[in-house]
Structure 1
């Protein structure tokens, strides 16, 4: 475990060194690279780092460590921009990329002639591979703004109080049809905990929520990977989550609006007869289609001067 802690501490300070710097900046020399401390460890403590890496390899810890590193990387990408989406397959691919990098740095360190310039080249190639990974998983358009400034352009996902969500969506809490699913409930699942405190059978799903044995009502998963069975939910709620991302993909030239439209219809069919899907913002480009289907009733309510929420009820 000491070996993992050492590698972990080196990686942590390296991440902090490049924190808030854009991977995609192309209008000057990139500020991304190894920190002075990383260079010190790799060049001045070369023999020790070789032994640490070889111990990790021998103990069979590399896969475990790179999987954890991939989880942290995905989490950081999402924190930078909430519209980034990654599947389980993407996470495995990123873990494989990190695994290859550990093997390459070990090989580099064993070459006594490899100095600072070689290490700089290693990191330059590593960040190129990360850029390629992000474009392959999320398309090029999302990152256009990141090419213009050496610093990150943040689009974080906010967490809202239960009371604000109830008010924004106009929920009649005492008369919600159970079971209730909060889709994109957020890491703290504020609304789910609020509803369960009122003895309402409520569940939460979010790619950032923590799954614990004493909280089986929370599921860590993205909605695009989840399956929703027909007649499964009495109420589905999604505040500034699913429909926000749907609109993003609808407007994005290299987005996946068809996949979101299919998932949207899957969610509507997952409602029990009489159940409702409450969400904001509204998505009129598909609601106009749903409004023509006899089994659904669409109601939109203006929340602010520019924003509306939607309630879709399955009639039968």
Structure 2
């Protein structure tokens, strides 16, 4: 008997089957497609799959499944390349795309003559829609390298210990101005936990962090969707996060450097007088402008032979 749990299992193994395969490879036949198990269920257990889908539709579970798939999809895309950015609206759009696929699968199952070739065509159209979604949300430039190889390449995105971040950014922990915001704190929020253990009022924001009742100081959100009130924070910290993405958009042919510049200035205005924004790597192309403003003091420090960190302190209102 096909049940909802098994449907979820089939979906998960289908995602794993295409893991590490490029969605954009154009050097030959795409390696993406339905797994043998997926083909088996769709072709040999056609009536059972159709009835289970009808149950999902009738019980109002379609939104649950498609929203979960969209969350998993967004998470997977970001794990592949940390520079992909998605808004809440984008996530809803992806959920609608998956909803359409559920309906199309159900329609396909009604056709007794639909064999493996039809199923393969369905999946190829689905992957084309995913490619279109990614280009619409992130531009074409980001995916050019993915057209050259059938397998994905690694874009580093690591979590770092609190001690390493403190040393890298030269933080004088005992004299940080509260409250402290760690922008892009990571799923584990290591630095935030470290600071709170020292009785420092610290908060974290990250698109991967899990919000919970026992950790009300963490917020699951991307910085481009967040609003930062003026004079809200005593200290803002962003280790290999915001400035990395800012530089990426500055260099990317179809990036959004203006939007990042506006958010950068919003973060500076969110500092209380005497407060500081610590980040690495430095972004000299905008710091040279900020350095001319009388209300801010810019200081850069070499942390490796090729990398600098920046501390911007707000002097006045």
Same fold (TM over 0.5): yes
Q: Is the 8 A contact 1:184 1:204 kept in 2?
A: yes
Q: Per-residue displacement from partner, 1:29-66 (whole Å, max 9, x unpaired)?
A: 11100011100000000000001000000000001110
Give the aligned partner of residue 198 of structure 2. 198
Contact 2:206–2:221 (Cα < 8 Å) also in 1: yes
Structure 2 residue matching 1:276: 3-state secondary structure: strand
Question: How far does the alpha carbon of each residue in 1:264-316 deviate from its partner, in whole angstroms, 9 at most, with x for none?
Answer: 0000000000000000000000000000000000000000000000000000x
What is the CA–CA distance in structure 1 between the aligned matches of 2:2 and 2:99, rounded to whole Å? 19
TM-score normalised by the chain length of structure 1: 0.99
Offset, 1:4: 2.5
Partner deviation per Cα, 1:209-235 (whole Å, 9 max, x = no partner): 000011000000000000000000000
Contact 2:230 2:270 in 1 (8 A): yes
Q: Indicate conservation of the 8 Å contact 2:2/2:52, yes or no.
A: no
Task: List per-residue Cα deviations over 1:187-221 (Å, max 9, x = no partner).
Answer: 00000000000000000000000000110000000
Match of 1:117 in 2: 117
Gaps of 5+ in 1: none
Q: Give a deviation string over 1:125-170, Cα, whole Å, max 9, x none.
A: 0000000000000001100110000000121410000000000000
CA contact (8 A) 1:79 1:156 kept: no
4+ residue segments displaced more than 6 Å: none
- The alpha carbon displacement at 1:3 in A equals 3.2
For 1:45 and 1:240, how far apart are their aligned partners in 2?
49
The answer (yes or no) to whether the contact 1:80–1:155 under 8 Å persists in 2 is: yes
Does the CA contact (< 8 Å) of 2:281 and 2:307 recur in 1? yes
Unaligned runs of 5+ in 2: none
The alignment covers a number of residue pairs equal to 315
Residue pair 1:249, 1:257 contacting (<8 A) in 2 also: yes
Flag the 1:313–1:53 CA change in 2: closer, same or farther, 3 A: same
In structure 1, C-alpha distance between the alignment counterparts of 2:33 and 2:285, rounded to whole Å: 44
- Measured after TM superposition, the shift of residue 249 of structure 1 is 0.1
Structure 1's 276 and 53: CA in aligned 2 closer, same or farther, altered over 3 A? same
Residue 2 of structure 1 and its aligned partner are, at CA, apart by 7.5
- What is the aligned partner in structure 1 of residue 182 from structure 2? 182
What's 1:155 paired with?
Answer: 155
More moved, 11-20 vs 179-188: 11-20
